[in-house]
């Protein structure tokens, strides 16, 4: 008997375990094509504003990018044409890709974005605004964004991304079609890493388990030795925080590692931005108007440096938070062993047994609470070293 083959995944190939979401987005893309042809789409298939939600690593921005490609592609997301390639490269003329670089996204930036989004698409299909981390909007920025979503241009589609619908004001989320992604299984992630990146299956599965379904992080852990080493350094903390001195040393090392990683990330981004700004203002040129342009460049450079400092602060905080999540996951695995729960572990059982047998579930829960409290303190702008030292001292207690 001949089986029915699954549809070509096309632009949705990097969304393992999200079958319901992919089906919904395919239906919407088909409806959008009917709208362009002047024909009525399936009721409820397509709308002008979407909100992609899901926990870190679920692929909400990946899903939004894939949907944008499907809307802009004449074939509904073939993943082969110039349009699809340009969307994934971030260079498509009808895609506005917004990634807030600082801790928040201000009202002036949002108003500028709304003006740009009101234009007509150059390719004749849609003008798409893909707003990653939309939850970083300030209250005033959210109000400006709301007006644009309430009164959209005829061919503009808004794709917002946030961890949860609750992270956006009710007036915005009530006007969006919510797409909820789930964390994919480790096996599904490992399959993507093996088929797409050629990573050996056992290594891919170990990385997928460590990343808890986060495809991007799993790929880094499998391919980037420095990322794997940083994770290993974090996971040594539980075995070294045996008393006051080692706990304080471990805290300092944890913060220092986060700072070094954040510095490496921001330096890689900062200089190309400064160089691009210098070229835009004609640095090194001569002739009429150059002196005036150089004076204008000083102000623009100051604005750029302020944005880069804000981004550096966010990257440092996010990097440290990722380390704390790794630590929390390690203690979660210990707790699962102590309780005899038959769940998949993110870390090798051999690394957990000794610590699990030397403690109690109650003590492990207290340590998990200490890590979560540290994360909360960091969101309140407590000095990172003080917050991590307090956490490390709590971890050292029996």
Domain borders along the chain are 10-180, 186-223, 240-396
Tokens 């375990």, residue located: 17
Give this prediction's pTM.
0.73
Asked whether the beta carbons of 218 and 246 are under 8 A apart, the reply is: no
CATH number 3.50.50.60 given to 10-180: no
What does the pLDDT read at residue 6? 47
pLDDT tens for each residue of the chain, 398 residues long: 334 444 557 899 889 889 999 999 999 999 999 999 888 888 888 999 999 999 877 889 999 999 999 999 999 999 999 999 999 988 999 999 998 876 678 888 899 998 888 888 988 799 999 999 999 898 999 999 998 998 888 899 999 999 999 999 999 999 999 999 998 889 999 999 999 899 999 999 999 999 888 888 899 899 988 888 888 989 999 999 989 999 999 999 999 888 887 887 787 778 887 787 777 766 655 555 555 555 666 777 777 787 778 778 878 888 899 899 999 999 999 999 999 998 889 999 988 999 999 999 999 999 999 999 999 999 888 999 999 999 999 999 86
CA separation for the pair 311, 321 (Å, rounded): 15
Residue 3, CB half-sphere, CA atoms under 13 Å: how many? 3
> How far apart, in whole angstroms, are the C-alpha atoms of residue 129 and residue 250?
43
CB 95, CB 72: distance < 8 Å: yes
The whole-number pLDDT of residue 2 equals 37
What does the pLDDT read at residue 44?
Answer: 82
pLDDT score, position 164: 92
Please tell me the distance from the alpha carbon of residue 354 to that of residue 357, in angstroms, as a whole number: 5
């Amino acid at each position: 008997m001949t089986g029915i083959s699954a549809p070509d995944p096309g632009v949705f190939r990097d969304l393992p375990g999200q079958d319901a979401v992919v089906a919904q987005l395919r239906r919407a893309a088909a409806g959008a094509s009917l709208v362009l042809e002047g024909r009525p789409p399936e009721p409820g298939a397509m709308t002008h504003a979407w909100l992609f939600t899901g926990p870190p690593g679920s692929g909400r921005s990946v899903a939004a990018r894939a949907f944008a490609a499907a809307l802009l592609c004449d074939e509904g997301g073939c993943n082969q044409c110039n349009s699809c390639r340009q969307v994934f490269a971030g260079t498509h003329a009808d895609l506005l890709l917004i990634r807030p670089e600082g801790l928040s996204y201000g009202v002036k930036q949002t108003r500028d974005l709304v003006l740009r989004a009101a234009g007509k698409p150059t390719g004749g299909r849609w003008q798409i605004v893909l707003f990653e981390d939309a939850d970083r909007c300030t209250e005033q920025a959210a109000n400006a964004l709301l007006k644009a979503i309430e009164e959209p241009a005829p061919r503009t589609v808004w794709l917002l991304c946030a961890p949860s619908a609750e992270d956006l004001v009710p007036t915005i989320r009530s006007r969006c079609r919510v797409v909820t992604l789930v964390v994919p299984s480790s096996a599904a992630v490992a399959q993507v890493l093996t088929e797409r990146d050629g990573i050996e299956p056992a290594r891919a599965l170990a990385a997928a388990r460590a990343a808890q379904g986060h495809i991007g992080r799993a790929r880094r852990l499998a391919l980037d030795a420095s990322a794997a080493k940083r994770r290993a350094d974090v996971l040594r903390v539980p075995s070294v925080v045996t008393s006051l001195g080692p706990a304080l040393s471990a805290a300092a090392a944890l913060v220092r590692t986060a700072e070094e990683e954040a510095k490496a990330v921001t330096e890689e981004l900062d200089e190309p931005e400064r160089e691009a700004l210098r070229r835009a203002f004609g640095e090194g040129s001569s002739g009429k108007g150059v002196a005036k342009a150089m004076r204008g460049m000083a102000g623009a450079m100051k604005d750029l440096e302020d944005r880069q400092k804000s981004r550096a602060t966010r990257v440092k905080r996010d990097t440290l938070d990722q380390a704390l999540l790794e630590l929390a996951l390690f203690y979660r695995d210990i707790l699962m062993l102590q309780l005899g729960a038959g769940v998949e572990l993110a870390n090798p059982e051999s690394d957990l047994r000794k610590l699990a047998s030397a403690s109690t579930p109650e003590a492990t829960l207290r340590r998990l609470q200490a890590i979560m409290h540290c994360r909360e303190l960091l969101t309140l702008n407590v000095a990172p070293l003080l917050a991590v030292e307090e956490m490390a001292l709590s971890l050292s207690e029996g």
